[in-house]
Structure 1
Amino acid sequence: MATLQELALVTAVIGHSDVGHDWSSQMATPIGSGLVRLQRLMLTLLPQYWSKQNWKSLVNQVTQSEGGDGVRGVDLMISEDASLVVQQIATNLVSYCRVAMTIGGTEFSSPYCRILLTPHLAEAITMPSSRATFAPMSGAHPHSLGLLIQHLKECVDGYGSSLETHQQKNRKLESGTLGMEDVRTLLPANMTVDKLSPAQQQTVARQRLKQLVTNRKQELQHYAYLIENLLYLLWRHLQYYLVHCKPVTSDPHMVGMARSSMRLLQEYGATQSGDLTFDLSSVGEGVSAADLESLKIDIGKSLTDGLFKKLLDVEEAQFSARAELRVGFVQALVRRVRRLLKLKADVRTDI
């Protein structure tokens, strides 16, 4: 648990700092090379923390190592704490990506934003969210939009599940006296219940139930933050790839030169940081016409009307909880993404 908490603190600091700037032009300096390496390390964490299956694996490891030993109640609270920390790391990573992207790109890629993900969607199309698990990134290859879309779907489903659980536990908390079955479930199995009066058992059980309600509320906040920012990143990437991106020439000689240049950048990064890395400023470059055509064909399979409805339902649930009635960030982003998909469809029809 201590390691996860330290990682949560470090990623929180980095996620809200200027580390997201494009430092690749200063690779020759010790500070520049160190910051580029730090950028790569942040992005390397994405597959591990942008996958709910990996969340569960991390939480199980912490629960086993913290000495719960299968004791009912004890394991539950350890698992709850670990789950919130893992979610916090995920929110810090998406915060870093948002900051890094909005700082701005380069004149060679997208001048209005920084491109962090490639236009490939394999993860979002071929793997159900319930079984989605991703290996760490290799040093020379950035992640794809498929990873982002897959995690967005998981977060939307997770929000709905957490909201239902939160409402159920809140109703129990507001109902007054808890039933004996609820008390037995909430009290730790290693607690000497015989020494507690029924009133004391109720008090302890209600305290633990209040903590669970608080945890669900915090979990909903994490999911809402992830959904908003993942959707924002998705919109900016789609706007670049579907509207602004110019594919590289199909001339094999020119493609070979571009790949050779990319390898030189990677090798230079390796000599400076002691580890093979990719140049963040060139993620959106070198995209072929076939890559863009594949994106235009497959994006509709990943971004369905059902997903858009769930996204709007999430925002509506947030407004209901705060008694607010207004047009929100998610609704505006959904409208913009739909507009891009319609534009893509219109262009393909004209062709």
Structure 2
Amino acid sequence: QQGALELLRSGVIVRLAQCQVYDMRPEMDPQGMFGMRDPPVFIPSPVDRYRQILLPALRLCQVILTSSMAQHLQAAGQVLQFLISHSDTIQAILRCQDVSAGSLQELALLTGIISKAGLPGILSELDVDVNEGSLMELQGHIGRFQRQCLGLLSRFGGSDRLRQFKFQDDNVEGDKVSKKDEIELAMQQICANVMEYCQSLMLQSSPTFQHAVCLFTPSLSETINRDGPRQDTQAPVVPYWRLPGLGIIIYLLKQSANDFFSYYDSHRRSVNKLQNVEQLPPDEIKELCQSVMPAGVDKISTAQKYVLARRRLVKLINNRAKLLSLCSFIIETCLFILWRHLEYYLLHCTPTDSQDSLFASRALFKSRRLQDSFASETNLDFRSGLTVVSQHDIDQLQADAINAFGESLQKKLLDIEGLYSKVRSRYSFIQALVRRIRGLLRISRN
């Protein structure tokens, strides 16, 4: 913590904001979309060399944000200044469609930083002279960061969909197995960061339920399209300038619950194998060794094979432990955001086709404009977004939510809390949110 404060006082982040090298991001190679299949080369590509410069700066920003609790606003202000100074690069990373380990590592770091620094309340901490015009420009930058982060949920919100992008060949060996683990961890980290960001935006900008800032429209079409009889794995990606529907939250909630049990079983099996390495079949020992040492496994002794197998199992156990923690966090934040949105839409939202719609719409638009930095986007028709909600939209939301948030999903969530969350500090948090959501869906609107 003391080191982070010294770095803040010395103005390291301010100096990084002035560095022009971060604006020189090379164009992505279209042949590298599935970059892990490219043969390794001795000389790094321009993108790899650029990342050797960018990633340490992002890690430094992340460390300062997480270490300087006493001066968090000052740290967040300096980091936000860094993001805005290099906004073209930041937006290019957020828009990048590459699914290589390097690109996902960039996104994981960047979304973690934005979730803590890209908040409207941080603008007052910027070390710049702010007039009304420049304030709108800064709000515009934050609005774009927010929209693009929300857009990432459509890409990374379902792990079964993204498995298409990872490997079409399951029989990967050596370094590719390690890359596969890194990619899976990075994708879950990105989802966790975006959900943390959504939670922070709602808590900071929504002092009451009646004046909630809704980040998602009252549409569950995403989860209906993807969960229907014909599971549409090619569900359209929502453009970043449009707010996604609440369905992506329920879809992410379901996928995270499924992923949790998959990781939990894998973690338990790996622990059992680690405790009984000597009893494992020779073929399984060889497979574990090949993920650490792709060539020459047959030439080493049995004792050395056991050492390599243990090393792989320990790495796998640690990887699954991180994934379990991320899934648990994603589930908790998804439930929180779903609850807050349902609370607003089902209890406090005045439909545009009601008798009081004219006055309610004006009041709501005014209050939202004060709170929501999305409204500063000049190319967005804000009034056609969240404020135009009809009675039919609300009735449809309630009907779809009752079906999507069914008994089987609720049981899964409560089982997860019993298996995992009971040993953590937030025991009964999931149970309380499930109970509140269930109560909201039983309410009949008059």
Residue 50 of structure 1 aligns with which residue? 157
- Asked if the contact 1:122/1:146 (under 8 Å) is kept, the reply is yes
Gaps of 5+ in 1: none
- Asked if the contact 2:192/2:330 (under 8 Å) is kept, the reply is yes
* SS of residue paired to 1:95: helix
CA distance 1:159–1:133, change in 2 (3 Å):
farther
TM-superposed deviation, 1:287: 0.6
1:340 aligns with 2:440: yes
Q: Which residue, 409, 425, 434 being the options, matches 1:307? A: 409
Distance 1:223 1:278 in 2: 35
Distance 2:344 2:111 in 1: 27
Q: Alpha-carbon deviations, 1:307-337, whole Å to 9, x = none?
A: 11110000101146x3x79852101101111
Distance 1:165 1:148 in 2: 25
Q: Alpha-carbon deviations, 1:19-54, whole Å to 9, x = none?
A: 25598x978632222222222221222201112134
- Asked if the contact 1:142/1:278 (under 8 Å) is kept, the reply is no
Q: Alpha-carbon deviations, 1:204-247, whole Å to 9, x = none?
A: 11101111111111111111010000010000000001111110
TM-superposed deviation, 1:137: 2.1
1:209 aligns with 2:313: yes
Q: Alpha-carbon deviations, 1:148-199, whole Å to 9, x = none?
A: 1111111111111111111111111112413312211112273212331110
* SS of residue paired to 1:45: helix
Q: Which residue, 163, 167, 185 being the options, matches 1:60? A: 167
Gaps of 5+ in 2: 1-100, 124-131
- Asked if the contact 1:116/1:283 (under 8 Å) is kept, the reply is no
Distance 2:389 2:396 in 1: 11
- Asked if the contact 2:111/2:193 (under 8 Å) is kept, the reply is yes
Residue 183 of structure 2 aligns with which residue? 82
TM-superposed deviation, 1:131: 4.8
Q: Alpha-carbon deviations, 1:43-75, whole Å to 9, x = none?
A: 2222011121343234339xx9xxxx9652432
Percent identity for Structure 1 against Structure 2? 30
**Aligned ranges for residues 237-316 of structure 1 at < 5 Å?**
237-249=341-353, 276-277=379-380, 279=382, 283-316=385-418
Q: Which residue, 94, 101, 106 being the options, matches 2:202? A: 101
CA distance 1:217–1:327, change in 2 (3 Å):
closer
Residue 29 of structure 1 aligns with which residue? 136
TM-superposed deviation, 1:81: 1.1
Q: Which residue, 278, 291, 299 being the options, matches 1:195? A: 299
- Asked if the contact 2:226/2:235 (under 8 Å) is kept, the reply is no
> Aligned AA for 1:8?
A
Residue 40 of structure 1 aligns with which residue? 147
Structure 1 segments (4+ residues) deviating >6 Å: 25-28
1:11 aligns with 2:118: no
Query: Which structure ranks higher in relative contact order (CA pairs < 8 Å, sequence separation ≥ 6)?
Result: 1
Q: Which residue, 429, 435, 440 being the options, matches 1:329? A: 429
TM-superposed deviation, 1:135: 3.0
CA distance 1:148–1:340, change in 2 (3 Å):
same
Q: Structure 2-normalised TM-score? A: 0.64
> Aligned AA for 2:139?
G
Distance 1:20 1:182 in 2: 53
> Aligned AA for 1:97?
C
Q: Alpha-carbon deviations, 1:126-152, whole Å to 9, x = none?
A: 322865454332355311111111111
> Aligned AA for 2:140?
S
Distance 2:320 2:135 in 1: 47
1:174 aligns with 2:270: no
**Aligned ranges for residues 123-134 of structure 1 at < 5 Å?**
123-128=222-227, 131-134=232-235
Report the count of equivalent residues: 323
Distance 1:139 1:156 in 2: 26
CA distance 1:225–1:214, change in 2 (3 Å):
same
- Asked if the contact 1:102/1:114 (under 8 Å) is kept, the reply is no
CA distance 1:317–1:283, change in 2 (3 Å):
farther
Moved more, 178-187 or 218-227: 178-187
- Asked if the contact 2:417/2:430 (under 8 Å) is kept, the reply is yes
CA distance 1:234–1:58, change in 2 (3 Å):
same
